[in-house]
Amino acid sequence: MDLKQAFGLALKEIRIEKGLTQEDFAIVSSRTYLSMLERGLKSPTLEKIEDICSVLDVHPLVLLEKCYAYLEKSHKS
């Protein structure tokens, strides 16, 4: 697993935990872009991470911590 994939898994997990759909991010991003992030096809900017986290109502470090936990777990396997 690479960093983009780990970020995508973390983003999707938090989004689902919060009961949000990809459409709920329309004020900060297109559904297509969010889908590409979740599938690990794109890398967000720091500004975009902040925007996404404002919709998720989590601190950006929460998202990044979950991302790196996925990454570390995949490297141990």
Q: What is the pTM of this model?
A: 0.93
Q: CB count, 10 Å around CB of 62?
A: 14
What residue spans define the domains of the chain? 3-76
Q: Would you say the C-alpha torsion 64, 52, 9, 36 has a positive or negative sign?
A: negative
CATH of 3-76, one of 3.40.50.300, 1.10.260.40, 2.40.37.10, 3.30.1180.10: 1.10.260.40
Q: Which residues contact 22 (CB under 8 A, 6 or more apart)?
A: 15, 31, 34, 35, 38
Q: What is the pLDDT of residues 2-57, one digit of tens each?
A: 999 999 999 999 999 999 999 999 999 999 999 999 999 999 999 999 999 999 99
